[in-house]
Amino acid sequence: MTKDQEKIKQYQNRILSLLLKKYEASKAFKTEEVSLQRPQFAIKKISDPLSKDYLDEMNYRKREWIHQAIAELQDQNIIEVKWPKFKEGEEIDKVYLNYEAIEKAYQLAAIIPKKQKLINIKSILLPLSDHPWEWVRKFWSHYNVALSNNQTAGLEIDDSKGYEDLVKTLLFLPKMDEGTMKRVLSHNLFNDTKYFERNVQGRLVSIYKRFGSVNMETDIEYLDAIGIVENPQITLVSGPLEFRSNNLTVNVAELPGGIGLTFDTIKELEIQEINAKAILLIENLTAYHEFLSGKIKEETLGKSVFTNADQILAIYTGGYPHHALRKLLYKLKELRSEIPEVYHWGDIDYGGILIFEHLRRNYFDSLKPLFMDEYIYSQYLEYGIQFSVEYADKLTALLKDDSYSFWHQLIKSILRNKIKLEQESLLINWSK
């Protein structure tokens, strides 16, 4: 092939690529019905290197090559060209793609048709149609409909390997042990401890955020909710909880500072007795330790039932419950009739409110807030932290959600003052 032939072929491929992209973005492609308006472009108006080459006054050979490419495509009835009056053969105005030659255009340009890519992705996702997890089935159903209607709906249809990896992971998740470490999962599936994080994690988390039933703040928390962990988590517990595991009975109240429980321990333990006045879930680690130290006095708590930390089963949540803590909370939930009251103490901010509601809706429907009210907020307002406009928008969205009506007055106060209040702010300034 001579240099001229090579250049002509390159311009033919560029012209066909532009026209096929126009076709694939058209209503005719989506409906599979021929439209009166054919895919087209005006060569002087497109934002593409082809236009720059065509108008290059320093190298007129480019225009000649483009004219020759156009002529050959027209001879094959793949395209039609519109020339300005009295300038036929000299200056191209518009180029049209003939509908009956679309398949031939794909073949000549060596381009995989978008329709075929959609079919390929649809076939790759098909095994998810009967997945045991509802959010995965919702994901499949949403995109199966879109692909069936010749729409990508945001899917990266050129990345078939990426979706094969995703499906492989999703099919494996229900079979794996809960709390499997991310690198172990990656090695088991891809024989590479970092492959999952590099190639699958982002897409998996994005899907769970959209189709899952929980709201988290970080990708690590979303992965944990699915059952994948960065590292094994310990659940900190203190107070009157008695449990039995492997013929060993443990009374946590007898252990100063409480105990740390692994997932395997929690999975096997059987709760014998909860001789507590109440359960207190604490979001922040510092607050958890301060509560255990007895620094939160009766007069500080006001009308609360918390008159003695020794009578309270305190549990550190660290934000949204991780996989080990979830297992313990479900076991406590089963014994709900034996627990007088359950409280949660968290930050007075957007995240604190969401975490509280997550705990209430998933574990303890009569959950009560501790130190998360307008009175405490107003008393310690000067020790709070200012927040951004974007943060305010997230709080404002909660005001439009009736499921957060319990918090609406407090949210209005937070927005009015433009201040959020973290647990540490209460602890550090209590003595003041």
pLDDT at 302 over 50: no
Residue, of 21 and 34, whose pLDDT is higher: 21
Please say whether the beta carbons of 285 and 316 come within 8 A.
Answer: yes
Distances in Å between the alpha carbon of 4 and those of 54, 61, 67, 68, 202?
Answer: 16, 9, 12, 10, 46
| Residues 29, 22: Cα–Cα separation, whole Å | 9
| The predicted structure's pLDDT at residue 203 | 96
| The predicted structure's pLDDT at residue 398 | 95
Q: Which two tokens stand for residue 29?
A: 């492609």
The per-residue pLDDT of the chain, averaged, comes to 90
3-class SS letters over 100-129: HHHHHHHHHHCCCCHHHHHHHHHHHHHHHH
Average pLDDT, integer, range 127-151: 96
Residue, of 429 and 92, whose pLDDT is higher: 92
pLDDT at 336 over 90: no
Average pLDDT, integer, range 7-29: 93
Distances in Å between the alpha carbon of 338 and those of 58, 304, 331?
Answer: 88, 20, 12
Residue 177 is given by DSSP the state: P
| The predicted structure's pLDDT at residue 307 | 54
| The predicted structure's pLDDT at residue 301 | 45
CATH class of this structure's domain 3-111:
mainly alpha
| Residues 185, 262: Cα–Cα separation, whole Å | 19
Give percent above pLDDT 90 in the chain.
66
| The predicted structure's pLDDT at residue 317 | 95
Distances in Å between the alpha carbon of 426 and those of 45, 324, 412?
Answer: 63, 28, 20
| Residues 432, 430: Cα–Cα separation, whole Å | 5
Instruction: Return the CATH number of the domain spanning residue range 235-429.
Output: 3.40.1360.10
How many other β-carbons are positioned within 10 Å of the β-carbon of residue 37? Answer: 9
Residue tagged 């949204």 (tokens): 320
Q: Which of 54-58, 231-235, 239-243, 426-430 has the lowest mean pLDDT?
A: 426-430
pLDDT per position as a tens digit, 65-84: 999 999 999 999 999 999 88
Show me where the domains of the chain are located. Answer: 3-111, 115-229, 235-429
| The predicted structure's pLDDT at residue 159 | 96
Confidence of residue 296 (pLDDT cuts 50, 70, 90): low
pLDDT per position as a tens digit, 261-290: 999 899 999 998 888 888 999 999 988 988
Beta strands in 321-420 (DSSP E): 342-345, 368-369, 385-386, 419-420
| The predicted structure's pLDDT at residue 9 | 93
pLDDT per position as a tens digit, 203-246: 999 999 999 987 788 898 899 989 898 888 899 999 999 999 88
CA dihedral 280, 286, 291, 292 (to 10 degrees): 100
Residue 313 is given by DSSP the state: E
Rounded to the nearest 5°, which phi and psi values hold at 427? -65, -45
pLDDT at 297 over 70: no
In sequence order, what are the beta bridge partners of 80? 96
Please say whether the beta carbons of 344 and 359 come within 8 A.
Answer: yes
